[in-house]
Chains A and B, each alone.
Chain A
Amino acid sequence: MSYFARKIGFLLIVLVAVTFLAAALIRLLPGDPATVIAGASGATEEELDQVRADLGLDDPLPVQYVGWLGDAVQLDLGRSYISKLEVRDTISDRAPVSFQLMLYAQIITLLIAVPLGVFTAYKAGTRFDRTANGITFAFLSLPNFVLGFLLIYLFAVKWNLLPASDYQPLSDSIGGNLKGLLLPALSLGLGQVAVYSRLLRVDMIATLQEDYVTMAKAKGLPIRRVLWRHALRPSSLGLLTVVGVNVGSLIGGAVVVEQVFQIPGVGLGLIGAIQARDYIVLQGLVAFVAIVYVLVNFSVDVLYAVLDPRVRHARASAA
């Protein structure tokens, strides 16, 4: 079996396992969706039973799950008990928002972390290296929401430079969109600068010992060209993997940041669904997040091969 076929088979197993676990865990939450749906405390026991039967909540979990899965593979994720909106539509409304937030966060993080990693590697052991280390780790130790409130306090309240909570869709205003998402993206990403830059630094230091780097210097290339052209790419595989895998922790962080800045993304939707015991919405969103997570990791793998011709070569001959 080819490398990619095996990989895809594995992905499918992961997806089923994750969504099943999500379905099981959701039912452990205290509270009964039937009461929420039937109108809080006023409903009689019969009315509640009726609601449960309608929704299939009486069926054993495996039966419910298989039913959901059967619909899900046909891209039917059901409707919210409460808003009656299609879960699919909720996702297509909210996902782009979260996606932008995470994308901006990754971009900002990489824009800071890559040059920092390159130069701290080049200047390893110097005061610059130690200072950068200290500052980035300080940011890493701040929880997202603390960083979020701090940024709101400084940029929105004190200096009045950026809005505390003003999400605008990209289609309305590019500037407004960027402005509204800048602080959230910073709160989400700044902590990761330490992770990315330190990781790149370590790999870069190893690469700088390589003969081909000395060779590049022996050619008389300026040091920035040696660093950026010869040393960065062979050093970036570890970083790339972590950037990909980190999407997972970013998703977790995004839930918090969306809450802090009231950004209508998947994270805010998840929180809303949990509060309302809206099982169907919750399960749909969790399945969506799992798919995204798994696909991101898959793409990281593919990108790996693009970045390093040796991997490409090894895979071609192994397949």
Chain B
Amino acid sequence: MNSPSTRSSRPAPVSLGPPDPTLPLLEVDGLATHFLTERGMVKAVDGVTFSLRPGQTLGVVGESGSGKTILARSIMGLLPPRNVTRTGTVRFAGHDLTAMSERELAHVRGREIAMIFQDPMTSLNPVLRVGRQITESVRHHLGMSAKAARAWGTELLDMVGIPAPGLRMDDYPHELSGGMRQRVTIAIALACEPKLIIADEPTTALDVTVQAQILDLLQELQASQGMALILVTHDLGVVAGRTDDIAVMYAGKIVEHAPTPALFAQMRHPYTEALLRSIPKLDDASHTRLETIPGRPPDLVAPPPGCRFAPRCMLVQDRCRTELPELTAGGGSGHRYRCFYPVGTEIGEAARARNEAGATPAAASASTASAPRSSMASRVSTASESDGSRGH
């Protein structure tokens, strides 16, 4: 692929140095984003810490409402202008993005970090031609001439697998199908050859058949361009074979974070286990919001005082309801989880056994794996009642 910078009429303003492969590209530390609402403080992202090396891929997985989109937007500083507080730091190539002004951030956005949105139907501007939307960032960031930018845009469209790219440049978004539009947004993200792409559920709004194509394309481009990638999804199955690491989010916090093989070899957090069981079958309507884990995510205004997952957890013990577990390393190879009674450990399985034996009110019924939905639901409601009816 020709680099856009080799085509530009003036040299790219180098705002940040080239990434050092031994240093983290992105370091998110204690990131918390809270919304001030009439009901109270919505803790959408609540103390997230992780880091990413250049070229590394990270899957961020969680149910609807777990804070994935807000996390992605908090990293780029793309939050609503009012009634939001963001604390913690986001360091990119050593620079603290949270300390930057909007003007400084504008040099990073699109140029260094690009974003792909959930819904390609709404993320393209309906009144601007596709070509203009692809080329404007290289025109702006790299100062490319109109002609060079057009050539580069056409090449990008070709690269993302759009037939007759030269003609499509003059189309308006409504003239393209959903899959084609998402390819366009990928082309837009690639335009300045960023070092990191954040893809927020890039396939959730698409047909099942198109989903795999888009994900394959992203993976391919990520590998060939050597970009780092954060792939946000609610589907553990999507990231299973595609990312180096997986971070599982629940109620604004990372509850488990591990290299993908380690996670699948031995998942430690009961929520991750439940998520795995809720991976949609191929024939499911995949754009429906998943809520296959019994019970509902907690109210983010008044989350449970202890472990956020306690009201829905199969392994819950008294301690979980009062004390918040920290994200701690266990089992080497960078596996971290936030649980007092991890799945597959002695104490964890003992807890499960106790609950299944009916020792705690949370386990009113039988085996977790084979429990019918209704009995799970009743167990969850019992749990939250005994919990003093926190939340909702």
Interface residues of A (CB under 8 A from B): 125, 210-212, 214-223, 225, 229-230, 233-234, 307-310, 313
> In the complex, are the beta carbons of A215 and B124 less than 8 A apart?
yes
Query: CA A225 – CA B128 in complex, angstroms?
Result: 13
> In the complex, are the beta carbons of A218 and B115 less than 8 A apart?
yes
In the complex, which residue of chain A has the Cβ closest to the Cβ of B73? Answer: A214
A217 neighbours in B (Cβ, 8 Å): 78, 109
Which residues of B2-18 are within 8 A (CB) of A?
A: none
A230 neighbours in B (Cβ, 8 Å): 125, 128
Most chain B C-beta atoms within 10 Å of own C-beta, residue among A214, A217, A220, A310: A220
A309 neighbours in B (Cβ, 8 Å): 126-127, 172, 174
> In the complex, are the beta carbons of B123 and A219 less than 8 A apart?
no
13 sampled A-B residue pairs with Cβ under 8 A = A211-B119, A211-B122, A212-B123, A215-B185, A218-B115, A219-B109, A219-B137, A219-B140, A220-B111, A223-B102, A230-B125, A308-B126, A309-B174
> In the complex, are the beta carbons of A219 and B125 less than 8 A apart?
no
Query: CA A310 – CA B125 in complex, angstroms?
Result: 11
> What secondary structure prevails in chain A residues at the interface with B?
helix
Most chain B C-beta atoms within 10 Å of own C-beta, residue among A223, A308, A309, A313: A309
Query: CA A308 – CA B173 in complex, angstroms?
Result: 12
In the complex, which residue of chain B has the Cβ closest to the Cβ of A212? Answer: B125
A308 neighbours in B (Cβ, 8 Å): 126-127
The 9 closest A-B pairs by CB, nearest first: A220-B110, A220-B109, A219-B110, A211-B122, A212-B125, A211-B123, A218-B115, A219-B137, A220-B106
Query: CA A221 – CA B126 in complex, angstroms?
Result: 18
Query: CA A313 – CA B114 in complex, angstroms?
Result: 31
Query: CA A141 – CA B341 in complex, angstroms?
Result: 69
Is there a chain A Cβ closer than 8 Å to B136's Cβ? yes
Other-chain contact of A214, B111, B114, B117 (Cβ < 8 Å): B117
Interface residues of B (CB under 8 A from A): 73, 76, 78, 82, 102-103, 105-111, 114-115, 117-119, 122-128, 136-137, 140-141, 172, 174-175, 185, 188
A216 neighbours in B (Cβ, 8 Å): 125
Q: Tell me how far the C-beta of A311 lies from the nearest C-beta in chain B, rounded to whole angstroms.
A: 10
A225 neighbours in B (Cβ, 8 Å): 136, 140
B76 neighbours in A (Cβ, 8 Å): 218
In the complex, which residue of chain A has the Cβ closest to the Cβ of B119? Answer: A211
Query: CA A264 – CA B264 in complex, angstroms?
Result: 85
Most chain B C-beta atoms within 10 Å of own C-beta, residue among A210, A215, A225, A233: A215
B136 neighbours in A (Cβ, 8 Å): 219, 221, 225, 229
> In the complex, are the beta carbons of B78 and A219 less than 8 A apart?
no
Query: CA A225 – CA B110 in complex, angstroms?
Result: 14
B118 neighbours in A (Cβ, 8 Å): 211
A219 neighbours in B (Cβ, 8 Å): 109-110, 114, 136-137, 140, 188
Query: CA A172 – CA B208 in complex, angstroms?
Result: 70
List 14 extra interface pairs beyond A220-B107, A309-B127, CB under 8 A: A211-B117, A212-B122, A212-B124, A214-B117, A214-B123, A217-B78, A220-B105, A220-B111, A221-B110, A230-B125, A233-B127, A308-B127, A310-B126, A313-B172
Most chain B C-beta atoms within 10 Å of own C-beta, residue among A219, A221, A230: A219
Query: CA A210 – CA B107 in complex, angstroms?
Result: 22
B124 neighbours in A (Cβ, 8 Å): 212, 215
Query: CA A216 – CA B137 in complex, angstroms?
Result: 9
Known contacts A220-B109, A222-B106, A309-B172, A215 near B127 by CB under 8 Å: no
B107 neighbours in A (Cβ, 8 Å): 220
> In the complex, are the beta carbons of A220 and B137 less than 8 A apart?
yes
Other-chain contact of A234, B105, B119, B127, B188 (Cβ < 8 Å): B127
Q: Tell me how far the C-beta of A127 lies from the nearest C-beta in chain B, rounded to whole angstroms.
A: 13
